[in-house]
Chain A
Amino acid sequence: MLLIYCPYCEEERSELEFRQAGDAHIARPTNMTEMTDEDFEAFFFLRDNVKGLTFERWRHLNGCGRFFNAARDTVSDKFLTTYKAGLPRPDLSTLRPATEATVETYEATESNAK
């Protein structure tokens, strides 16, 4: 189970208290009734579904209840950082790389051990 740092509570809490809430940094339409079908599809149904680093909204549902943003690696599930809603994407180059090469097989583990 993951520990996730809530930038509002300023502490790490169990994954069970949080809910993923879709992609971050999305400009939500203000004129939904006037959108073309193509634009509506792109906003409402289509997803990048990134394998690797992604920016998403999370909500500390069973805590402070507030939405915040996170940079997460979807292969290792590791959170690189979390930050308050409304802030721009953080510069990830200053952060320690969150993941070494992801270990996906037993063979890979053993070759590391040697």
Chain B
Amino acid sequence: MRKYSVFAVAREAMRGHRGWEAQWTSPEPRKEYDVIIIGAGGHGLGTAYYLAKEHGITNIAVLEKGWLGGGNTGRNTTIIRSNYLYDESAGIYDHALKLWDGLSQDLNYNVMYSARGVMMLSHNIHDQQVFKRHIHANRLNGIDNEWLTPEQAQEFCPPLDISRTARYPINGAALQRRGGTARHDAVAWGYARAAADRGVHIIQNCEVTGIRRNPDGSVAGVDTNRGQINAKKVGVVAAGHTSVLMEMAGVRMPLVSYPLQALVSEPVKPIFPCVVMSNTVHAYISQSDKGELVIGAGTDQYSSYSQTGGLQIITHTLDAICELFPIFRRMKMMRSWGGIVDVTPDRSPILAKTPVSGLYVNCGWGTGGFKATPGSANVFAHTIANDAPHKINAPFTLERFRSGRLIDEAAAAAVAH
């Protein structure tokens, strides 16, 4: 792999950009691999990358039924933060945040991580109490999070309407300065290029149709639309389709799949310097480097695999955006789309071994998986390589729904789920 650098750009500029290589190859699948990862999104490709880089396992195939990064990795609002309430969540999300800082250098690929700050608006006394509790809990875990007055909030984000007569008045905000955004496609592409460079096979348009088992019940491989591929270890990293895949191995999952929508406006000059979220009125918004306002809506109220979502869900979010930021009232929305998110009962992910020997699952990220991509991939690779979880993902088991040791971020709220 040729390294990307300013010298490479200069060299290629001199010769008409004829020397750039394909970022990854598309090999024919082998008959057998050491590890198969199902799902070439950020989490899956990252898992392959860390298996190769940190655990010396390079005989890996990443199978993708569509195109690389075309699922939720390409359908989210790219927001990164780690201000979760519980110790377990703080551990895994902050592990990710630490990896975001330096990921571009590690992958030699500009993922455009921008720590522009994530500000969560408080509209009432309840919000204020919850956010301050979060701030204290975060600081005990070494995670930056601070309280802002309405004036400080407006100073940090000038388009914000903090007048007392606003429909949704603001009485303060919680700010995580290390939070921000990254370029979602670049995350998938960067991991794919770096993994392929270490010998990982990325096989697109390869849909898994069955999971093969040995007579003792352990995993033997997978059936795909491109034939049978054997492996002793299979990692399922398939977001909204996890239930479908795990059912092939006879494992029922504590998951329900919902459409989650996002939309972008026409591009405009830099107007919005940070990420703003309001859970109370359900709005979140940031501006991409291309200039589009990126807006996240909520999930539909009923389960579905439709990748569209209801129109009333996005209009509800736009109502809130227009009240919080009156200057955006006349902007045109350019595109909207939906992804299928897999939601667990406690709104915390599952990164774990399964009842089937050799089968591992990384799922349940619900509406907030993008921010965790590097951390999730990193500890999931550890789990597969060692057949045992890393201490960071040890609490995120499948068995917690039997034992009752839930990580109940849903009840902890103040995170947009």
Contacts and interface: CB of A to CB of B under 8 A. Distances in A.
Contacts of B306: 74-77
Contact of B312 (A1, A51, A56, A77): A1
Contact of A49 (B243, B401, B403, B404): B243
A36 to B, nearest CB: 9
A44 B344 CA distance: 12
Interface in B247-262: 247, 252-257
Contacts of B310: 1-2, 15
A42 interface: yes
B248 to A, nearest CB: 12
Given A15-B310, A41-B402, A48 B252 contact: yes
Given A1-B310, A16-B312, A49 B402 contact: no
A104 B308 CA distance: 10
Contacts of A2: 310
A11 interface: no
A19 interface: yes
Interface in A6-62: 15-16, 19-20, 37-38, 40-42, 44-49, 51, 56
Interface residues of A, number: 24
Contacts of A41: 254, 401-402
Contact of B401 (A1, A19, A45): A45
Contacts of B403: 37
B237 to A, nearest CB: 17
Nearest to A105: B66
B6 interface: no
B129 interface: no
Contact size range, B: 20 to 34
A76 B304 CA distance: 8
Nearest to A15: B310
Contact of B253 (A40, A49, A76, A77): A49
B305 interface: yes
Contacts of A16: 312
B303 interface: yes
Interface string A72-96: 0011110000000000000000000
A45 B243 CA distance: 13
B357 to A, nearest CB: 19
Nearest to B303: A74
B345 interface: yes
Given A15-B310, A37-B403, A51-B244, A46 B252 contact: yes
B252 A74 contact: no
A45 B231 CA distance: 30
Contacts of B247: 48
A51 B254 CA distance: 15
A3 B312 CA distance: 13
Contacts of B303: 20, 49, 74
Q: Which 8 A-B pairs have the closest CB atoms?
A: A49-B243, A20-B302, A45-B401, A45-B254, A46-B252, A41-B402, A51-B305, A37-B402
Interface of B: 241, 243-244, 247, 252-257, 301-307, 310-312, 345, 401-404
Given A16-B312, A48-B247, 18 more contacts: A1-B312, A2-B310, A20-B301, A37-B404, A44-B345, A45-B254, A45-B401, A47-B253, A47-B255, A47-B256, A48-B252, A49-B255, A49-B303, A56-B302, A74-B304, A74-B305, A75-B305, A77-B306
18 contacts: A1-B310, A1-B312, A20-B303, A37-B404, A41-B401, A41-B402, A45-B345, A45-B401, A46-B253, A46-B401, A47-B243, A47-B254, A48-B252, A49-B244, A49-B256, A51-B241, A56-B302, A75-B304
